[in-house]
Each structure stands twice: as structure tokens, then as C-alpha cells.
Structure 1
Amino acid sequence: MKRSFLGVFLLALILAINIVTTQFMVHQFFYEHYTNTLACVALNLFLFPVALLIYKKEIHKGGKKYEQ
């Protein structure tokens, strides 16, 4: 299966955003800023299905020409 550079880049970007928002969420929770914490949770929960959709799209690229 041939992967596109755009799909791999988008997945890496989403992973980086998830790491940053998770760290920010922990920081905000420690300092009791719960609205910011909930905003980061919502962003992480939104980005996970987006990453899943990109991953599934990338898996199906290339067709069945490499399978036998």
C-alpha cells in the first residue's frame, strides 16, 4: 500500500496537537482552571475520530494491487 505524504503529515500533526493539548490539560487541571481543561478534553475527543478517518482513508489508498 502506498501512503501519501499528506496523510502521514496530517496524522503526525494531529498526534502533535493531541500531545500538546493533553499536556496543557494536565497543567490547567493542576491550577484548577476547569473550563480550559474541558476545552482541551473536547478538542482531544474531536481530533481522535478525525485521525481515525484519515488513517482509514490512507489504508484504503493503493487498492488491491499489492495484495495477492
Structure 2
Amino acid sequence: MKRSYVGVISLCVILALNIIFMQLLVHQFFYENYDGVLIYMGINILLFPIAIFIYKKEKHRGGQTNGK
């Protein structure tokens, strides 16, 4: 299936943001700053449906599937 560069790059950016915010979440948890933990957890939860939306949009735009 052929993918567009915009979809793949946007999914890579969202993955990178998830990794960054998860590292920040762990850092804030280690230093017992629970307000920061909740903020970064909320951002991670919001990024997940955005990634699913982009994935489904790209999957729908894709080319032919091999006989399926």
C-alpha cells in the first residue's frame, strides 16, 4: 500500500512527542511533582486518538491490498 509522506511524517512526529512527554512524566513522577505528572499524562492521552485518526485516514487513502 502506498502511503503519503505527510501521514508517515505526522505519525513519526506524534510518536516522538509521545516519547518526549512520557520521559517528562517519569521525570516529574521521580521528583514527586504530581501536577506535572497529570499534565503530561493528559497530553499523552490526547495524542493517542490523534494518531489513530491519522492512521485510519492514511489506511483509507492507501492503494490496493494484495487480493484482499
The TM-score with structure 1 as length reference comes to 0.90
1:28 matched to which residue of 2? 28
Q: Which amino acid counterpart does residue 26 of structure 1 have in structure 2?
A: V
**Distance in 1 between residues matched to 2:62 and 2:48, nearest whole Å:** 24
Q: Which runs of 5+ in 2 are unaligned?
A: none
Q: Matched residue of 2:32: which SS?
A: coil
Q: Which runs of 5+ in 1 are unaligned?
A: none
2:14 matched to which residue of 1? 14
The offset of 1:44, in angstroms, is 0.3
Q: Matched residue of 1:9: which SS?
A: helix
* % identical equivalent positions: 53
4+ residue runs over 4 A deviation: none
- C-alpha root-mean-square deviation of aligned residues, in Å? 1.1
1:61 matched to which residue of 2? 61
**Distance in 2 between residues matched to 1:62 and 1:32, nearest whole Å:** 45
The offset of 1:2, in angstroms, is 1.5
